[in-house]
Structure 1
Amino acid sequence: MYSKIRFFIAFIFVFQINCLHAQKINGISFVASRDKATNEHVKPVVEVGANYAAVMPFGFIRALDNPTIVYNTDRQWYGERREGAKDYIKLLQSNGIKVMLKPQLWIWRGEYTGYLKMETEENWKALETSYEAFILDYAKLAQETGTSIFSIGTELEQFVANRPAFWESLIKKIKAVYKGKLTYASNWDEYKRVPFWDQMDYVGVDAYFPLSEMQTPSVKSVIDGWRWWKGELSAFSKLHGKKILFTEWGYRSVDFTAKEPWTSDHSVTTVNLEAQANTTKATFDALWGEDWFAGGFIWKWFIHHSRSGGSDNNRFTPQNKPAEAVIKEYYDKN
């Protein structure tokens, strides 16, 4: 009898551990605001069923060939600075939401960060010095606040490709000050070329994969569109022994949203709420049951929920749109 009880207890323990490991990272990207956040701003995050949020302070660069990163200044919005990021982290954690701290760069006029590339060795060295100060400052904040995941960069393809020795050295310095999980947010067409996944805990992907050419993608067409990419991601996960984490993912509420999901062109004026909801649902159906998939962070979630998104909004946020109900449904059961 005693041995049966022991077996039953051991079975329950293993079952609980397996359930814990199986839980996905059901995240949202908590957009930096000019305002401080309160419990009222976090309440909708809890209500949608999220268990993680990405907090995203910013550094700014004047041009694609400029090596100087300006950050943590009074000219930036509160949430873009260190003190704002710290407050956001503590507030989210106090509401049971774990955090990925994801410092990002913004290049003047919205130039793509993947093209950040210096023309001289002198400027490369200056960029390395500037980026190291920027990222180590936030790595220390991540350690100080007990942040669960730290992203060492976002979509910096040319920087990574041209300066591999710098990144190897930088990762060692980050690990000296931060003891949590690490990732890098690679672009969807970049992740295979990143050389340091063996030093990360997750393969981070900003998952704007083309999936369907339909004006209003059906759930089936998007699931079919994922088949090729799923095979590649699964094989890559197995090759490196790391789970895939979507450091960003989401779709605009526009026509053809799954054709080129990275498109953020403000000249597009159509609104297609069904397209966003269907593509979001299909992505959950296609990926959330896969063992190699860790979960991801919806792009993007504004702190003022009541006045964000809505039926006439065609941007990425799912707030106050049918896609929000889809996210809640899947987050509640995963």
Structure 2
Amino acid sequence: MTVLTVVLGTPFLFGDHPVRWEAGSKLPTLVLDNAPESSTPADTTTDPKASPSPTADPLKVAEPWKKGMPQWGVQLYWEEEKTKRSDAFIEKQAEKHAKYLIGLGANSVSISFPFSIEGRTSNVLSKGAKTPSPERVERVLKVFKDAGFRTTLRPIMDEGNLKQANGWRGNIEPDSRSAWFASYKKLVTPYLKAADEAKTNTFVIGTELNSLEGDVGWEPLVSSAEKSFTGEVSYDANWDNYVRGRINMPVSHLGVDAYFPVKVADTASVGTLVKGWNDWLDRKATGALPNILIAESGIGAMKGAYHAPGDFYARRTVNEKVQANWYTAVCQVVQERQMQGVYWWSIHFDDDPNTAPDDKTASRLDFAGRPLTEKAIKTCFSSDYAGPGTDDSTS
């Protein structure tokens, strides 16, 4: 009887029950024909929080990333609060986010943080009031590294002082480019060292700087960065420049911040959205894209968002299905085109990811706490996609 009790009872105790903005360029206009509705929207009947990724330790990634695996990640955007939080607070906050991301099935995280510029033609870059210090960044990176995540550090220019018409980071024109690069080197070097101390995998040397791509100043900057940082140095291009031609940057790894507009109705099928994305990508290259990472992608959970996914400021009527279906479509494209992975934009560092967003104040691009979108992410991250392999060349 004792043996029989153990045999029958063990599966119930230990069985298969798991333990629990920025692409600111003007958007080109493209009218796409609807594709056949070959894909259906994500099932809405299941509570996404009921089936988290199985892991024995809520602060350990179940299957840590290894070279050749897809990067299933999230962009965690960190602005320092006006009242500076304690070091103990930020570590606890990082642990909260790590636990949430593990529940989504993520194996990667990218920490984006802002730096300041005085104006569109300024040569001076600096840490602003919202910029976390290198020491605090290192602390947070170590929390995620200890939890088993693949980690990326990504400085991104704050557009707060670029209020004039068409002012965004992608069209700055410094009066002296040599002075701009000297200032940028001084700014990022301490963060490169902090990232290296935390054994960070990737440092993104620039993000969406369209007007400066191909400048001779990048070569010495990247060379200097590689002396301070032993991981990979990459660059994240904006989607519009990416589809126009080769991104001329002296790095071996390229990400794309992808907000391709698709002119379809809110009721469009996942298959139609996949076709819309492929039509854009095919402008650059057809077939597999094993050297390309979707470094940032997202969309507002609102009506009309497919026409301008990168609209970070609109607060139209909430439609979570729009966001969830977009995530499902992007994930399908990443897999079918054999890309390196995707990072969803975004979660704000000071937010509680377990709390639904306040739709009166929060960005519609926020996805944490939106059940349909969380389910789409979990489905994506739990797929059997093996990844693009280990080719290190760029496109």
Structure 2 contact 138–197 (Cα < 8 Å) conserved: no
Q: Distance in 2 between matches of 1:253 and 1:295?
A: 22
1:259 and 2:310 are equivalent in the alignment: no
Measured against aligned partners, the alpha-carbon deviations of 1:95-152 in whole angstroms (never above 9, x if no partner) come to 111111111111324641001112x3xx323212111112222222222211011111
Q: Distance in 2 between matches of 1:129 and 1:22?
A: 35
Q: How far did residue 193 of structure 1 move?
A: 4.5
1:284 and 2:338 are equivalent in the alignment: no
Structure 2 contact 177–217 (Cα < 8 Å) conserved: no
Distance verdict in 2 for CA 1:53–1:308, change over 3 Å? farther
Measured against aligned partners, the alpha-carbon deviations of 1:77-102 in whole angstroms (never above 9, x if no partner) come to 6xx33222112101111111111111
1:187 and 2:187 are equivalent in the alignment: no
Q: How far did residue 326 of structure 1 move?
A: 0.6
Give the aligned partner of residue 149 of structure 2: 97
Query: How many residues of Structure 1 are paired with residues of Structure 2 in the alignment?
Result: 300
Give me the TM-score of the superposition, normalised by structure 2: 0.70
Q: Distance in 2 between matches of 1:308 and 1:200?
A: 39
| 4+ aligned runs moved over 6 Å, structure 1 | none
Structure 1 contact 93–99 (Cα < 8 Å) conserved: yes
Structure 2 segments unaligned to the other structure (5+ residues):
1-64, 386-395
Q: Distance in 1 between matches of 2:155 and 2:356?
A: 23
**SS of the residue 1:261 aligns to:** coil
Distance verdict in 2 for CA 1:237–1:59, change over 3 Å? farther
Matched AA of 1:24: P
Q: How far did residue 245 of structure 1 move?
A: 0.7
Q: Distance in 1 between matches of 2:134 and 2:321?
A: 38
Structure 1 contact 216–256 (Cα < 8 Å) conserved: no
Q: Distance in 2 between matches of 1:114 and 1:220?
A: 31
1:31 and 2:77 are equivalent in the alignment: yes
Measured against aligned partners, the alpha-carbon deviations of 1:225-251 in whole angstroms (never above 9, x if no partner) come to 12223334555987xxx6101111111
Give the aligned partner of residue 378 of structure 2: 328
Distance verdict in 2 for CA 1:92–1:186, change over 3 Å? same
Give the aligned partner of residue 226 of structure 2: 175
Structure 1 contact 143–177 (Cα < 8 Å) conserved: yes
**SS of the residue 1:278 aligns to:** helix
Structure 1 contact 68–127 (Cα < 8 Å) conserved: yes
| Among 366, 379, 392, the residue aligned to 1:317 | 366
Q: Distance in 2 between matches of 1:307 and 1:233?
A: 39
Give the aligned partner of residue 282 of structure 2: 231
Structure 1 contact 29–53 (Cα < 8 Å) conserved: yes
Structure 1 contact 237–244 (Cα < 8 Å) conserved: no
Matched AA of 2:320: L
Structure 1 segments unaligned to the other structure (5+ residues):
1-18
**SS of the residue 1:83 aligns to:** helix
Give the aligned partner of residue 110 of structure 2: 54
Distance verdict in 2 for CA 1:307–1:332, change over 3 Å? same
Q: How far did residue 50 of structure 1 move?
A: 0.8
Give the aligned partner of residue 291 of structure 2: 243
Distance verdict in 2 for CA 1:139–1:21, change over 3 Å? closer
Give me the TM-score of the superposition, normalised by structure 1: 0.82
Structure 1 contact 57–81 (Cα < 8 Å) conserved: no
Give the aligned partner of residue 9 of structure 2: none
Give the aligned partner of residue 257 of structure 2: 206
Matched AA of 2:185: E
Structure 2 contact 298–310 (Cα < 8 Å) conserved: no
RMSD: 2.4
1:124 and 2:177 are equivalent in the alignment: yes
Bigger fraction of residues in helix: 1
Q: Distance in 2 between matches of 1:256 and 1:207?
A: 17
**SS of the residue 1:129 aligns to:** helix
**SS of the residue 1:227 aligns to:** helix
Q: Distance in 2 between matches of 1:214 and 1:237?
A: 28
Whose relative contact order is higher, 1 or 2, with alpha carbons under 8 Å and at least 6 apart?
A: 2
**SS of the residue 1:143 aligns to:** helix
Measured against aligned partners, the alpha-carbon deviations of 1:146-195 in whole angstroms (never above 9, x if no partner) come to 1011111111111225xx11011211111222221221111001123521
Give the aligned partner of residue 57 of structure 2: none
Q: Distance in 1 between matches of 2:287 and 2:228?
A: 29
Structure 2 contact 303–317 (Cα < 8 Å) conserved: yes
Distance verdict in 2 for CA 1:275–1:180, change over 3 Å? same
Structure 2 contact 297–345 (Cα < 8 Å) conserved: yes
Distance verdict in 2 for CA 1:236–1:88, change over 3 Å? farther
Identical residues among aligned pairs (%): 23
Matched AA of 2:367: P
Equivalences for residues 303-314 of structure 1 within 5 A? 303=349, 304-309=352-357
Q: Which has the larger radius of gyration?
A: 2
Structure 2 contact 181–221 (Cα < 8 Å) conserved: no
Q: Distance in 2 between matches of 1:244 and 1:300?
A: 20
| Among 139, 149, 156, the residue aligned to 2:192 | 139
Q: Distance in 1 between matches of 2:318 and 2:304?
A: 11
1:301 and 2:347 are equivalent in the alignment: yes
